[in-house]
Amino acid sequence: MQATYPNNFEQKIGFDRIRKILAANCLSEIGKEKVDAITFNSKFGAVNYQTQLVVEFLIILNEHDNFPTNHFYDLRKGLKKIKIEGTYLEVVELFNLRRSLETLKGIINFFNGENGVKFPLLKKLSGDVQVFVSTLKSIDQLLNKQGAVKDNASSELHDIRKHMFSIQGSISKKMQVIVRQLRTDGIVDEDTTVAIRDGRPVIPVIAANKKKINGIIHDESASGKTAFIEPAEIVEMNNRLRELENSEKREIIKILIHFSTNLRPDIDELLASYEFMGEIDFVRSKAVFARQFDCIKPEIKNEPFFDWQKAKHPLLMKTLKQENREVVPLDLRFDDPNRILLISGPNAGGKSVCLKTVGIIQYMLQCGLLVPLSDGSGAGIFNSIFIDIGDEQSIDNDLSTYSSHLMNMKHFTKHCDANSLVLIDEFGTGTEPMLGGAIAEAVLNKLNKLKTYGVITTHYTNLKHFGSSQKGIVNGAMLYDSNGMKPLFKLQIGKPGSSFAFEIARNIGLSEEILKEATDKLGKEHIDYD
């Protein structure tokens, strides 16, 4: 059975934005891939394990400044490339391999000793990971601290570079002599200096004087007023230097091939180590998220269950924080037999936010994340979470808004059971109120008989009556300040809420004549009940 519904469930509750925050917290591409691969999990053991890993890493973030977080490079592509004989790691790949293996060694060393006792799950995760000390030593023999190949990486390279250095010195001295003479002869200005074009030293000369110098013109300025000339006296030396540079490149490739050949037997173990680093990065990103949004690990039970204290929608927290405002927290507790919470209250009073808060927190938890609740909270595990929220009108499928809602209700009543959580916003709307309310009441009754858990928002009076009379359903109200005419965004469980339609209309300024006519049509008793 599909664990979440509909297919765009994550977009409905905003978890796609949670993924983006987690990805931004990652230090490596491997970590980001693991964020992309997050899935809803209904197995208690897996959820408990994943969240406890985050708890351990959150302690590291809060108490240990020395955990290695630099150089989380992804060398998997390069390592897989050199599985083919004759291929090699480029110098920059070798340098990144060296730095990332140093980070790996630092992580493993961190979990040795007393830290292994403090962080048992992370310690176990790192238990079989190799640190490749000999590989690090081999790289250090080849590269300097800046990541360049050392002169003594091979005797051949040493000789080539020694010869190159000698020729470069001769070219430099010769060019200085030539420039001084050209200045004396008035062919170039006193402030003229040697330039470089195509890797060769040249002298900038005004176009009128270019024929006065014996040499090769390599370039001209955009205006054509300046020519860049390589004097004939150094052409042969430059050609020899270019030959040596090519020899240097060939020798470096030879060195890299030799190193890669020796590394080849360890590639699988290296790839496993990078997967470990990616996992550490992934867990760290979740711990950073937990610190960003004041998340905790609630007491998790292997059953459908809610005992949430001061629950906050993380994305709303982020938005309001930018406005120097705070989220009004949500307290929520229900378990068998009180499984379905029916929330009513005025428009813009927080009903939908309440529903989305339940959806995103429960989904986050079962994706292995800590959640924005206060200490002492408890949470359960559901096999499936279904949501019906927003306008799903489809031209392609010839579905009206109401038809799409009915399609969702069909799916819910067919696939829900005692381990399902349903989230339905504005239950019954989209069609004629009397008919829509009757169908919604029947669907609610069916869900209740299935012992499904749910959070449902509505304005319909018949559903409020039904909820008050049925075991398994609890009414809840989003509180409203009728004196100040403003929502309080607080959930009160136990009684239904008023839509405050007439009060809001009066506050907006709708005439008393219209309100009196509406009262006469509906009946004062009905309005007083609301």
Task: Decide: 59 and 370 in contact? Cβ < 8 Å.
Answer: no
Of 16, 530, 36, give the one whose Cα is nearest residue 282: 36
- DSSP secondary structure string, 188-246? S-TT---EEETTEEEEEEEGGGGGGS-EEEEEE-TTSSEEEEEEHHHHHHHHHHHHHHH
Count CB neighbours of 282 within 10 A.
28
Q: Note the pLDDT of residue 351.
A: 86
The helix-helix angle for 351-365 and 15-25 (nearest 10°) equals 50
pLDDT reading at 503 higher than 60: no
∠ CA 98-100-106 to the nearest 5 degrees?
A: 105
Higher pLDDT, 497 or 253: 253
Q: Note the pLDDT of residue 76.
A: 96
The residue-averaged pLDDT of 261-288 equals 97
Phi and psi based region of residue 489 (left: phi greater than 0; alpha: psi -120 to 50; beta: remaining)? left
The per-residue pLDDT for range 321-368, each reduced to its tens digit, is: 888 988 889 999 887 788 999 988 776 667 888 999 999 999 999 999
CATH code of domain 159-240 = 1.10.1420.10
Q: Note the pLDDT of residue 469.
A: 86
Please state, rounded to an integer, the average pLDDT across all residues of the chain: 89
Strands 195-197 and 215-220: unpaired
Higher pLDDT, 459 or 508: 459
Residue spans of the domains in the chain: they are: 12-154+255-290, 159-240, 296-499
Of 396, 301, 243, 357, give the one whose Cα is nearest residue 48: 301
The per-residue pLDDT for range 440-457, each reduced to its tens digit, is: 899 999 999 999 999 999
pLDDT reading at 20 higher than 90: yes
Task: Decide: 40 and 5 in contact? Cβ < 8 Å.
Answer: no
CA 116 to chain centre: 28
Q: How many whole angstroms separate alpha carbon 467 and alpha carbon 352?
A: 19
Its pTM stands at 0.86
Lowest mean pLDDT among 82-86, 410-414, 522-526: 522-526
The per-residue pLDDT for range 154-178, each reduced to its tens digit, is: 999 999 999 999 999 999 999 999 9
- Output phi, psi for 422, to 5 deg: -110, 140
Task: Decide: 366 and 287 in contact? Cβ < 8 Å.
Answer: no
Of 169, 170, 209, give the one whose Cα is nearest residue 192: 209
Lowest mean pLDDT among 60-69, 218-227, 391-400, 516-525: 391-400
Element (H, E) at 504: helix 501-508
Helices in 325-395 by DSSP H: which ranges? 351-365
Identical topology for domains 12-154+255-290 and 296-499:
no
> What tokens appear for 4 in the block?
């979440």
CA 287 to chain centre: 12
Name every residue whose Cβ is closer than 8 Å to that of residue 380 and which is 6 or more positions away in sequence.
Answer: 300, 301, 302, 303, 304, 305, 306, 335
DSSP assignment letter at 470:
S
The per-residue pLDDT for range 180-233, each reduced to its tens digit, is: 988 888 888 888 889 998 888 999 999 888 888 888 988 888 888 889 999 999
> Which residue is associated with the tokens 């300024």?
509
Side-chain half-sphere CA neighbours of 136 within 13 A: 13
Pick the CATH number of 296-499 from 3.30.70.1450, 3.30.70.60, 1.10.3720.10, 3.40.50.300: 3.40.50.300
Q: How many whole angstroms separate alpha carbon 353 and alpha carbon 428?
A: 18
> What tokens appear for 247 in the block?
């020899």
Q: How many whole angstroms separate alpha carbon 297 and alpha carbon 54?
A: 9
pLDDT reading at 482 higher than 80: no
Rg (CA), the chain: 36
Task: Decide: 278 and 353 in contact? Cβ < 8 Å.
Answer: no
DSSP assignment letter at 427:
T
Asked if the 12-154+255-290 domain carries CATH number 1.10.1420.10, the reply is: yes
